[in-house]
Chain A
Amino acid sequence: MTTIPLQAYLILALILFCIGLFGALTKRNTIIVLICIELMLNAVNLNLVAFSQLGNNPGITGQVFSLFTITIAAAEVAVGMAILIAWYRHKNGVNVDEMDGLKD
């Protein structure tokens, strides 16, 4: 079954991670930034599971770790949305670039 080398998964994870990163950097819409962060966390999960299955020391712990990660990432995104909505009420916009009231 394990015909796929670990590297392939690691590379996929990396593509996801990098795209997430690029999005988080470039996108002006805060929601998309959040989505991109979600992408990055997915990449980590992929990594964990791949290691867990195909890594040097296979074991189930990676899966368990992913379970925790998935749930907590979801909670994080949800909180992010709530804060975003609170912010939107003030600004009537979701542009990241408008978040520069605090500086110096």
Chain B
Amino acid sequence: MIYAVFAPLIITLLIPLLSKWKERVHTGWFILPVPILIFIYFVQFVGENFTPHSESYSWIPSLNISIDFYLDGLSLLFVLLISGIGSLVVLYSIYYLHKSEQLKQFYIYLYIFMFSMLGVVLSDNVFVLYSFWEFTSLSSFLLIGYWHYRERSRYGALKSMLITVFGGLSLFGGLITLSVITETTSIQAMIEQKDLIVNHSLFPLILVFILLGAFTKSAQFPFHIWLPDAMEAPTPVSAYLHSATMVKAGIFLVARFSPILGGEPSFFIIVSLFGIVTLFWASFMAVRQTDLKGILAFSTVSQLGMIMAMLGFGTDVAIFAAVFHILNHATFKGSLFMIAGIVDHETGTRDVRKLGGLMTFMPMSATLALFGVFSMAGVPLPFFNGFYSKELFFESAIDLPGFSGAFVEFLQQAIPYIAVIGSIFTFVYSMYLFFSTFRGKYKEHELKTKPHEAPLGMLISPSILVLGVILIGLFPNMVNESFLAHAATAVFGDGFHAHEVKFWHGWESPALRMSLIVVGVGTILAITRKKWTSVYTVFPRRLSFNELYNYIVDSIEKGSTKITETYMTGSIRHYVSYILGSILIITGAILFITNGVTIEFDDLAPITIPEILVGLTMAIAAIASIFTNNRLSLIIIVGVVGYGLSVLFVIYRAPDLALTQLIVETVTVALFLLCFKHLPELKNLPSHPGVKSINFLISVGFGVLVTLIGISSHSSKLFSPISEYFIEESVPLGGGHNVVNVILVDMRGLDTLFEITVLGIAALAIYALIKLRHDKEAK
């Protein structure tokens, strides 16, 4: 199994070589066998006696992460979709993309996507699943941006990436919480601990996080806004990622976690509500679209909403219908996308308003589209598979699970109606899509080229899909027991009983009545579509969620600008004031909270006069330094402070220190003098009194704070003095009587060595910096 998953990744490494090997041959041909082989490999598992398989490979043992592949009915359904539709899309792309395009990159991205999508549906380890999950977003980003340099593509690519990756992160949070609670990283092991999870106080959080991930990926309302913009991608990509596989990853996720999260009222409410609202809203919005792919995008969103809603219902009929519809949707929507691509390819436009009457030019495509569209609309004829799953949907919408609660009851009442209304709109846009493109008047002057039928190769893939539509329609139970039932069991649990799908339930069947209402009302609305335009556009674009997204992104950037302009003035003085101000606040607050300062003035002893004098001199000199603007006096003042310090050192019986201080002070003063020679006179620069007083406050506040601490520190004699180790040991150990010297050269030899390095570096660097003067003068 692991080979099957990694095969697409491995082949991407060969793509650059293959594309150079025989340049005349389209690269697609070389790599087409890969998904076909994967499909063949997995299709062998299909059968009534199918049992789940698992394989495990150790990866990051310390984090309890291993690559566990788990193949159950649900995974199998998705794996076959990914590899099957994948094969058809690659085949289609061979004719769709000309050799002159940058095929190499296109196929690399596509196969990376295929690899990561296979990983998503087969991983049992939640973190591995998440990794693959993010890869699908990334490759989707690259594929959306593959073709165009337009502003629109950039916007779309960034938007899809931000929304899906945001959702991914939320999913990640949910998965981490899950694994922390259950102490396992395996989904199957988590299912066994369902009671623990459901009763845990963090359960709502987990539910919201995971569903957020699923809803963003599967473009559920209100996160659906990224999908229409993702239509900038080449059509094979739209057919593959944005209809058949990637957007179904969210569906997969909800299905996969249904055994853990499902069966709860909260799960039912959230999932059904979002699903049904998405179904309604997206089908409503689809009607006003004029771009072929735009209609299909909103249609995809609404169909995903429908599947999501069914997963939310959670009854066995609903689950079976969901699984069934995943398969059906892939067939008819895949073919429709491909036809849309053909139309675009042959006419140069996808704008429905410019198209019309193409039936005569492209009869094959039109026929294929007819099947796709009618299946999507749910027309009750036995060769449209969409009808069956839609009828199962209606059936499950009437028979909802019996949770109690006011809101639940309201939902139970409302869902069947919303389902019907949503389906009516679905019918309307389906008809609009087909009839305005293929029937009606041919608008010659709108098109740049004269349309003609697509090359045969391009029609192969949609034909195969349409064949699937018809076959499933005619023999709806063909893959029921051997395939769909296993998938439904994986979602629903062991109690699942396979249903026989029937075309005719009798006139008494409420689902049939609902279907007939849909067809009836839908037909009327479709014919009179133009009259209702104002209704469809009643929601102005300004109020859409797109605008909300734009607003959020804009306001984050505005906030960023505001913060930046407020404090990043480029002025050091402002920087330093902010730093000190914040330190003052932090320290003050913490001391206040910890309630710490105690001050005692008990042990203040008398001070001798010389020391007072020295101290006072230093203080006065320091204060004077602020007010003077004369260079010479400034230097003198600094000198006074420095020399005063060395006098104090003498008083402290620290002669070495005093000496060092004396030398350093002298050198510093000399240095300042030297520099002043080169620098201009000091000017008395007026500064703003407000700024000055703020600075004053900061400094004094800081001073007071630290003074209090300092005084309080002495109020407590904490420790017994440690022994005067150095003084006692300096002669026997270091052979010297000057303790400081001994310490410096012996016990702190390394420190001294490195300090010398500091000085050496400083000297060299100053030389280097000053040297430029000469360089410049020499020039």
Interfacial residues, chain A to chain B (CB-CB below 8 A): 1, 3-29, 31-33, 35-36, 38-39, 42, 45-46, 49-50, 52-53, 55-61, 63-64, 66-68, 70-79, 81-86, 88-89, 92-97, 99-104
11 A-B pairs with CB atoms under 8 Å apart are: A10-B713, A19-B625, A25-B576, A32-B625, A35-B625, A42-B642, A45-B661, A46-B645, A63-B740, A75-B762, A82-B770
| Known A24-B576, A50-B652, A64-B744; 6 more pairs at CB < 8 Å | A8-B611, A15-B619, A26-B695, A59-B726, A63-B657, A71-B758
**CB of A61 to closest CB in B, whole Å:** 8
B680 touches A94 (CB 8 A): yes
Residues of A contacting B604 in the complex (Cβ-Cβ under 8 angstroms): 5, 7
A16 touches B722 (CB 8 A): no
A56 touches B759 (CB 8 A): no
A12 touches B619 (CB 8 A): yes
Residue of A nearest to B659 (CB): A67
CA distance A8 to B261 in the complex (A): 69
A8-B615, A24-B576, A35-B634 known; A71 and B759 CB under 8 Å?
yes
Residues of B contacting A9 in the complex (Cβ-Cβ under 8 angstroms): 615, 648
Residue of B nearest to A2 (CB): B605
A58 touches B571 (CB 8 A): no
B34 contacts A by Cβ under 8 Å: no
B615 touches A56 (CB 8 A): no
Binds A, one of B56-64, B140-148, B367-375, B664-672: B664-672
Residues of A contacting B695 in the complex (Cβ-Cβ under 8 angstroms): 22, 25-26
Residues of A contacting B570 in the complex (Cβ-Cβ under 8 angstroms): 99-104
B626 contacts A by Cβ under 8 Å: yes
A68 touches B751 (CB 8 A): yes
Residues of B contacting A32 in the complex (Cβ-Cβ under 8 angstroms): 625, 634, 682
Q: Which bracket fits the contact residues of B?
A: 35 or more
Residues of B contacting A1 in the complex (Cβ-Cβ under 8 angstroms): 653
Interface residues as binary, B45-78 with A (CB distance below 8 Å gives 1, 0 otherwise): 0000000000000000000000000000000000
B528 contacts A by Cβ under 8 Å: no
A88 touches B642 (CB 8 A): no
Residues of A contacting B664 in the complex (Cβ-Cβ under 8 angstroms): 70-71, 73-74
**CB of A22 to closest CB in B, whole Å:** 4
B714 contacts A by Cβ under 8 Å: yes
B649 touches A42 (CB 8 A): no
Residue from B572, B652, B719 having most chain A Cβ neighbours under 10 A: B652
A70 touches B661 (CB 8 A): yes
A72-B755, A75-B762 known; A67 and B740 CB under 8 Å?
yes
CA distance A49 to B679 in the complex (A): 35
Residues of A contacting B675 in the complex (Cβ-Cβ under 8 angstroms): 31, 81, 84-85
Residues of A contacting B4 in the complex (Cβ-Cβ under 8 angstroms): none
Residue of B nearest to A87 (CB): B769
**CB of B94 to closest CB in A, whole Å:** 49
Residues of B contacting A26 in the complex (Cβ-Cβ under 8 angstroms): 573, 626, 687, 691-692, 695-696
Residues of A contacting B726 in the complex (Cβ-Cβ under 8 angstroms): 59-61
B456 contacts A by Cβ under 8 Å: no
A86 touches B769 (CB 8 A): yes
**CB of B606 to closest CB in A, whole Å:** 6
CA distance A84 to B606 in the complex (A): 45
A15 touches B744 (CB 8 A): no
Residue of A nearest to B576 (CB): A25
B769 touches A85 (CB 8 A): yes
**CB of B659 to closest CB in A, whole Å:** 10
Binds A, one of B79-87, B111-119, B197-205, B701-709: B701-709
B24 contacts A by Cβ under 8 Å: no
**CB of B633 to closest CB in A, whole Å:** 12
A14-B706, A81-B675 known; A7 and B656 CB under 8 Å?
no
B608 contacts A by Cβ under 8 Å: yes
A71 touches B755 (CB 8 A): yes
B269 contacts A by Cβ under 8 Å: no
Residues of A contacting B667 in the complex (Cβ-Cβ under 8 angstroms): 74
Residues of A contacting B765 in the complex (Cβ-Cβ under 8 angstroms): 79, 82
A56 touches B721 (CB 8 A): yes
B685 contacts A by Cβ under 8 Å: yes
**CB of A63 to closest CB in B, whole Å:** 5
B727 touches A60 (CB 8 A): yes
A29 touches B682 (CB 8 A): yes
Interface residues as binary, B714-745 with A (CB distance below 8 Å gives 1, 0 otherwise): 10011101101111000000000001100110
A18 touches B702 (CB 8 A): yes
Residue of A nearest to B682 (CB): A29
A19-B625, A94-B679 known; A104 and B568 CB under 8 Å?
yes
B603 contacts A by Cβ under 8 Å: yes
B744 touches A23 (CB 8 A): no
CA distance A99 to B642 in the complex (A): 29
A25 touches B577 (CB 8 A): yes
**CB of B605 to closest CB in A, whole Å:** 5
A25 touches B648 (CB 8 A): no
**CB of A97 to closest CB in B, whole Å:** 6
Residues of B contacting A88 in the complex (Cβ-Cβ under 8 angstroms): 678-679
Nearest 8 pairs of A and B residues by beta carbon: A103-B570, A18-B703, A100-B570, A10-B710, A22-B699, A75-B762, A25-B695, A82-B766
A79 touches B762 (CB 8 A): yes
- Residue in B626, B671, B776 whose CB lies within 8 Å of A22: B626
Residues of A contacting B692 in the complex (Cβ-Cβ under 8 angstroms): 26
**CB of B580 to closest CB in A, whole Å:** 7
